[in-house]
Chain A
Amino acid sequence: MNYSELLAELFLMPLVAFVVGLLMVLMMRKISARLQRRIGPPFFQPIYDIIKLYGKDTQISHGLIHDIGIVMAVGGYIGAELLLPVPGMDGIADKGGIITLSYFLMIPSLGMALGVGQCANPNGSIGISRALTAMLAYDIPFILIVFGAAWHYESTSLVGMLEYQQTHQWGIVEMPLLAIAGLFALQGMLGKQPFEIYIAPAEIATGPMVEMSGKYMGGLFVMQSFQLYTAGVLYASLFLGGGTTWLELLPKAFFVVAIPMSIAFMFPRYKTEDVVRLMWKWPVMLALISLAFIL
């Protein structure tokens, strides 16, 4: 691969991820609106929101770390997109592999924690401590899933995993229990009900986001679209065979992202300690049983 091609991919992969992510945000808001028998936002609403937030006249900055926190939150996901192979573009996926990717997925939460810490708002501190505890909860099943998948596919590279699934069967057929545990981890990772105690708008005023105004909030909206894309494509590549064309990959990714939102309104909210208890009990148990089969 020559360098110009690689440079083009490094630019295109986050861009595609952003556009697809915006569509996913729109889809989630539409789903929640339809479930509540509303019409929902117009097609360009996510774009309007982001442009409006970046067009604010002032932004309250609480210091350098606050600024860097947002850069880390967005940058962590941009780094993750480069490690996520998509049809036609591998980026640096063959250099990194899924272990590097799972490290990259933790950077945004840590960046948020740094940024929020400097805001000195008690609601933000409560929110971010809950968010990090929730991360501790869903990362245990997530790491077990990554370990199981890597063992089963005999590769830690996502490119290798996709090749295996395209010659054999989809991962969800060969390891169904691991895939179900993955859905639990996905629900926690996206922070949807019942695992959204750290946002809790009515109690702690959106927790980590409480002091974010203007372009900081815009950065978080951009981060959200990257987050949805990453979660959807990662799950589709691990268990649903990825795709050789975009037409094959995108419906799978959209379907995966639609699941958490569709079932979110059925649950009340769990307390933080209950999130940890639930996450360390059921998905971990499923993943361990699945690991026993795989090993």
Chain B
Amino acid sequence: MKKELKIKEKSTERTNPLARVFDDFISFCQSKSLFMLHYCTGCGAIELPPAMTSRFDMERLGIQPMVTPRQADILLITGYVSVKTLKRVILTYEQMQSPKYVIGICSCTVNGGMYWQSYATAKKLNEYLPVDVYIAGCMPRPEAVIEGLQRLKNNIKNDRKEQKGSAWKDYFRRYDYYLGNQQHLFGDDWQTPTDIIAEAKLYGLETEETYGKHTDQLLKIQKPLLPQEMKVRMKP
């Protein structure tokens, strides 16, 4: 069960009504234009080509595929996530620019699906990343995929009123929880290139639960990222 958070963050609610109109306009545009990075891990990937091409055509909804995490808004994970894959998924997620959204497709991302008894598979994706929308099914049809994307679009559009389309903030607010689960799988020396705590400070999304014993562990082992040394080996 998710504990109720005591949020001590900077208030982002604007008092100027014109600024609110502006914010609503921005979130309207954000809901109308979504660039999607699909991390095709499993069999669910096969349902994406029909969803994108002539039969169902996602581009009419403003959704188009992008190929790098820097440009993308949605991280679409289509199928079971093995422990090794999860590392890559987390690295990719942390490189994306917020606001960013995660969609888990197929039963495998919801509860492990048919890989429930596998020792090498991460069962619930939302223990490691904040997931906006799950699309269940084995595999979900393109109609279901598009239905899920429409729900995400509505969440983004009504985010100011309903607070449903900003799961990415949760990653900063409760980083200790996510990091703890990640360390449980990958070992105590798990470190990513992105400094999440510094980003949480930048966004003003620090809470009490951003820090904890897992982030202490991270700070203990964290090595600064240095550029690789250039070496030229000459033949004698």
* Nearest chain A residue, comparing its CB with the CB of B95: A60
* A201 near B70: Cβ-Cβ < 8 Å: no
Give A37 to B59 CA distance when docked, in angstroms.
Answer: 12
Pairwise interchain contact A55-B62, C-beta atoms closer than 8 A: no
> Which residues 44-61 of B have a CB within 8 angstroms of A?
53-54, 57, 59-60
Asked if A60 and B97 sit within 8 Å, CB to CB, the answer is yes
* Stretch with Cβ within 8 A of A (4 or more), from B13-21, B28-36, B82-90, B115-123: B28-36
Q: For A201, list chain B residues within 8 Å (CB).
A: 67
Question: How far apart are the CA atoms of A48 and B59 in the complex, in Å?
Answer: 13
- Interface residues of B: mostly helix, strand, loop or mixed? loop
Q: Verify A42–B97 contact, CB threshold 8 A.
A: no
User: B71 in the interface, Cβ–Cβ < 8 Å?
Assistant: yes
Q: Mark A40-83, 1 if CB is under 8 A from B, else 0.
A: 11101101110110011111100000000000000000000000
Question: Quick one: given A48-B62, A205-B67, are A58 and B97 in contact (CB under 8 Å)?
Answer: yes
CB distance from B80 to the nearest CB of A (A): 23
- Chain B residues with CB under 8 Å of A38's CB are 53-54, 57, 59-60
Inter-subunit contact B29/A33 (CB<8 Å): no
Interface of A, helix, strand, loop or mixed by DSSP: loop
Check: B26 CB closer than 8 A to any chain A CB.
yes
Q: Please classify how large the interface on chain B is, using the bins under 10, 10 to 19, 20 to 34, 35 or more.
A: 20 to 34
Q: How many A-B residue pairs have CB under 8 A?
A: 84
Asked if A210 lies at the interface with its beta carbon under 8 angstroms from chain B, I say yes
What separation, in Å, do the CA atoms of A285 and B13 have in the docked complex?
A: 65
Closest to B25 in A: A51
B60 and A59: CB pair below 8 A? Answer: no
Chain A interface residue number, banded: 20 to 34
In the complex, are the beta carbons of B71 and A212 less than 8 A apart? Answer: yes
Residues in A neighbouring B202, C-beta threshold 8 A = 58
Q: Which B residues are in CB contact (< 8 Å) with A129?
A: none
Are B98 and A205 in contact, with the CB atoms below 8 A? Answer: no
5 pairs of A and B residues whose beta carbons are closest in the complex: A213-B70, A48-B33, A51-B29, A38-B57, A37-B54
A-B contact pairs, 19 of them (CB 8 A): A36-B53, A38-B53, A38-B54, A39-B57, A42-B32, A42-B60, A48-B32, A48-B62, A51-B26, A51-B29, A51-B33, A52-B29, A52-B30, A55-B29, A58-B98, A206-B66, A212-B70, A212-B71, A213-B70
Residues on A close to B: CB < 8 A?
Answer: 29, 33, 36-42, 44-45, 47-49, 51-52, 55-60, 120, 201-202, 205-206, 209-214, 217
